[in-house]
A and B are shown apart, each in its own frame.
Chain A
């Protein structure tokens, strides 16, 4: 889900244009508490199996993460995995913890990756987690400047948005006499392709290529249509190389992002 700072109008995301959060300028993250084996530093790497978890001995309320940037300002902060929805915790974002002066406390609506769009700020940013029935936990935080693609996904082909592009291994069971004995899902994931065309060569080279190069190894936050479907967010990684094609006549460039995601 994308949560935008009240009053903030970036004006840079026309309808249907995807957002990609791959840049992160975070220098360090500290937590008000951390359970043994789940330090806040785990939030700095892109692995979702390494996460921060508040100390179970600490009060469930008033957990804070202080996120310090290395340089410049940031206009987004994203969290790949969390249990804020499951534990029904309230979260808030600000440069001060009390009161939070960027996004006041609210309850997240799902367990999907969270993307905050905020007015550019140098930080440090303080993410507050209040209430909730479980010790707060989260994995992967990026903060930087979000990439707004030059164009929308191709409009002349059907697109499977990744949040609904479910793939699964399902094993059915029928008895010898023909009874239905239930079906078991033994694996499930999200997978899609986003096809683009008509990128200007300079934009591709200056703006998109750094992302592509980074995405060879690093995952990224993805929102395929933030204006119409702000709830559709994903933490994705490429499963095939991006090999752009240039139209010989127009020199415009086309590229396809094949990706899997936590979504």
Chain B
């Protein structure tokens, strides 16, 4: 027969060693629950009266859950700590006198084992002391300990840390120097660089020397403006292109009292990279509870986090299906009369909306207008089956612009988990089985309540969310882990970048690296330019869309369903004219249009329903015409070439002359971006997309002198690097030269 043993150890500073000059050692007290068969080999004070465990509860994909609390009640008794009389006072009375309320934050270990085991062989659960109480007149003393994650509670931890600095004197909207007050606050509270929230109205980046900040004004979609003296200056906590798990790690380690040794960051990263593969960016402009921020990420990334009180580590898992090969508990192993199944219809979802790409970090998180993009996943069949819609809205400060894939993953995961409401399941298992159940573990479960429509015994996947380790058994609460696949299965080697809003001068590699880890050989980068979206360029010297320099071995797939369009070439300038000389200038040539797509590494291009257009060449300038003493007619400017950002029209020539007086006709400026006439019958027309600009006309042959018209600008390339491109399917509309 198994004889159970229970021990509790607490580590506290050695009594009497408190001094500014002395770092106290650690003293360990060990207690046990009294029983006749206590082994001599494990010394302990047999004063434990009761151990009450309120197990932690994992909240899968929602938040930090409920914290685990263990309350240990001790009997008081006579004791001699040192040389004082054994009969003077009592153990806990003297203990309180020695250590007061200084136990908070100290380690507590709970051992459960059986006679014959050494302490090291027993199951050990680790907690942190939160408070003590007693001794009271019932001769009892209590120690209340919690799992390490309680240190992330809002009252104890915020990010960013509150700053007490303020603007020393009123500043205007353009100054780039800001002085903090009071004296010394800069070094005391602010980093050497970063972002600050000034007065709750403007975000600035800064570098700091002492109390002086050199700032860049009006960032992150805020407007530079004047700030009164004493406007608060709050450092902003920010994460740019980080794994969700790395953000959580940073929040827990750097903004709470949780020791870094309690987290294996490399394990978290491996979990992230294998099953999640998204990166987040976020700016938190005012102090927020760490638990709130962590919970946001847990929900949006579909994560679960818990305190492993046996492994003494904080565990993190990307929620996923339980493999059918997982350990199965069945009627042979579950304790009789303990299996309870509860339906949870309130957890059902039929649609999940995700708002992302937050615009202004200073605006409240719950304002939809402050999110640039949104997506949703819904299941109309579920609405029909269950008779009503259940919609969940998620606003994400963490999913950045371009993160549509991440947002869709969030929606898909949420809907997949809760499309059918999971059941809550409680049961108990005996101790001392070949494998003890683990909190957070995934298992399969069989039992009478689980049957198919044909009455065949069914197996349900479960994840343990609550585990009470009693001396003789484990009381377990689990969540049914249902997954309906919405969207593609997350492929850790596939990085998807979606362009769903207009943008200029995109470098795919740069955008990719803002969303994912740097691609390595074997990765697949898949970029989509959505229908209706235009990727343009603001300069003819820069392609609208550059692929970038991904390392060898990375496969790049580009799907163009919208348009990639180079910048239009500028129109040529009209020739001047002077009637005194007389003289007439030539019109200048129109500028060449810009390139749409540029690559110097192999890509697979699908453009069947898309457009890849070089910029139109600018029209040539018109030549001037002059007749001595009578006429000076300056040439007209050419029109700019077509483009999302059209080329500027060429300026008209200048007509001059004083003898006569002559008739002076100033040249007319060409229109920008017009593919038709340049605004004057003689200016060259700007080129259409991917087409050359028209040549400017020569001046009138009826004059004494006349200038020649400028040549039309060359068409911009639709693709520069065509030899690196392999078309998948028929090419779409690709206008303009294709060169290398």
Residues of the A chain whose Cβ atoms lie less than 8 Å from the Cβ of B36: 166, 188-190, 262
Q: Establish whether residues A184 and B431, one from each chain, have CB atoms under 8 Å apart when the complex forms.
A: yes
Interface bin, chain B: 35 or more
Return chain B residues, CB-CB under 8 Å to A166: 36
Check if B40 is an interface residue, CB within 8 A of chain A. yes
Whether the Cβ atoms of A176 and B331 lie closer than 8 Å is yes
Q: Are A171 and B472 in contact (CB under 8 A)?
A: yes
CA A207 – CA B104 in complex, angstroms? Answer: 52
Q: How far is the CB of B631 from chain A (nearest CB, A)?
A: 109
Interface of A is mostly: strand
Q: Across the two chains, which residue of chain B brings its CB closest to A177? A: B331
Contact at A176–B336, with CB atoms within 8 Å?
Answer: yes
- Is B288 an interface position by the 8 A CB rule? no
Determine whether A251 belongs to the interface, using a CB cutoff of 8 Å to chain B: no
Which residue of chain B is the closest to A169 with respect to CB atoms? B35
Does B602 belong to the interface (CB within 8 Å)? no
Chain A residues with CB under 8 A of B4:
184-186
Q: Determine, out of B74-82, B261-269, B567-575, the stretch whose residues face the partner at the interface.
A: B74-82
> Is there a chain B Cβ closer than 8 Å to A233's Cβ?
no
B452 at the interface (CB under 8 A from A): no
Measured in the bound complex, the distance between the Cα atoms of B1 and A253 in whole Å is 44
Neighbouring B residues of A186 by C-beta, 8 Å: 4, 35, 471-472
| A182 pairs with B79, CB closer than 8 A | no
In the complex, whether A221 has a CB less than 8 A from a CB of chain B is: no
A side interface size, CB within 8 A: 37
Could you tell me the distance between the alpha carbons of A50 and B1 in the complex, rounded to whole angstroms? 29
> Taking CB as reference atom, which chain A residue is nearest B115?
A185
Whole-angstrom distance from the CB of B256 to the nearest CB of chain A? 35
Chain B residues, CB < 8 A from A222: none
B262-282 interface code vs A (CB 8 A; 1 in, 0 out): 000000000000000000000
Interface residues of B in 76-106 (CB under 8 A from A): 77-80, 86
**Alpha-carbon distance between A173 and B334 when the two chains are bound, in angstroms:** 10
The interface stretch among B43-51, B173-181, B344-352, B515-523 is B43-51
Q: Is the CB of A188 within 8 A of B2?
A: no
For A174, the chain B residues whose CB sits under 8 A away are 335-336
- Give complex CA distance A82, B40 in Å: 8
- The residue on A at minimum CB distance from B3 is A185
Q: Complex formed: what's the CA distance from A179 to B335 in Å?
A: 9
Given contact pairs A174-B336, A189-B35, A50 touches B80 in the complex (Cβ within 8 A): yes
Docked complex: A47-67 residues within 8 A CB-CB of B:
47, 49-51, 53
CA distance A134 to B79 in the complex (A): 25
The interface bits of chain B over 328-341 (1 if a CB of A lies within 8 angstroms of the residue's CB, else 0) are 00111111111100
**Residues on the A chain within 8 Å of B430, using CB:** 173, 181-182
User: Does any Cβ of B come within 8 Å of A83's Cβ?
Assistant: yes
A134 to B37, CA, bound (A): 19
Q: Which residue in B34, B40, B47, B432 is a CB contact (below 8 Å) of A182?
A: B432
Q: Do residues B80 and A184 form an inter-chain contact, with CB atoms below 8 A?
A: no
Give the CA-CA distance A193 to B481 in the complex, in Å: 57
A 63-90 contacts with B by CB, 8 A: 81-83, 86
Closest to B4 in A: A186
Interfacial residues of chain A within 31-47, with CB under 8 A of chain B in the complex: 38, 42, 44-45, 47
Contact with A along B1-35 (1 / 0, CB 8 A): 11110000000000000000000000000000111
Residues of A within 8 A of B77 (CB): 47
Contact partners of B41 in chain A: CB under 8 A: 83, 86, 134
Which residue, B40, B77, B471, has most C-beta atoms of chain A within 10 A?
Answer: B40
Question: Is B426 in contact with chain A by the CB < 8 A criterion?
Answer: no
B227 at the A/B interface (Cβ < 8 Å)? no
**Interface membership of B473, Cβ < 8 A:** yes
Instruction: For B86, give its contact among A45, A134, A176 (CB under 8 Å).
Output: A45
**Interface flag for A137 (CB, 8 Å):** yes
Q: Is the CB of B472 within 8 A of A173?
A: yes
| Docked-complex contact A175 and B35, CB < 8 angstroms | no
A218 to chain B, nearest CB (A): 10
Given contacts A182-B432, A188-B3, A189-B35, contact A175 B472 (CB under 8 A): no
Asked if B40 and A173 make an inter-chain contact with CB atoms under 8 angstroms apart, the answer reads: no
Task: State whether the Cβ of B447 lies closer than 8 Å to any Cβ in chain A.
Answer: yes
Q: Which of B148-184 contact A (CB under 8 A)?
A: none
Chain A neighbourhood of B1, CB < 8 A? 170, 182-185
Are A83 and B40 within 8 A (Cβ)? Answer: yes
Q: Are A188 and B335 in contact (CB under 8 A)?
A: no
Chain B, Cβ-Cβ closest to A170:
B1
Tell me which residues across on chain B come within 8 A of A137, comparing CB atoms: 40
With both chains docked as a complex, state the minimum distance between the C-beta of A60 and any C-beta of chain B, in angstroms: 15
The chain A residue with its CB closest to the CB of B6 is A186
**Cβ of B331 and Cβ of A175 under 8 Å apart?**
yes
Known: A175-B333, A175-B335. 20 other contacts (CB 8 A): A49-B46, A50-B79, A83-B40, A86-B40, A86-B41, A171-B471, A171-B473, A173-B472, A176-B336, A176-B448, A177-B332, A182-B2, A184-B2, A184-B431, A184-B471, A185-B4, A186-B4, A188-B37, A189-B35, A190-B36
Q: List 20 A-B contacts (CB under 8 A).
A: A47-B79, A49-B44, A50-B80, A166-B36, A171-B471, A175-B332, A175-B334, A176-B335, A177-B330, A181-B335, A182-B432, A184-B431, A185-B4, A185-B37, A186-B4, A186-B471, A188-B3, A189-B35, A189-B36, A262-B36
**Which are the 6 A-B pairs with shortest beta-carbon distances?**
A184-B472, A176-B331, A45-B86, A177-B331, A83-B40, A188-B36
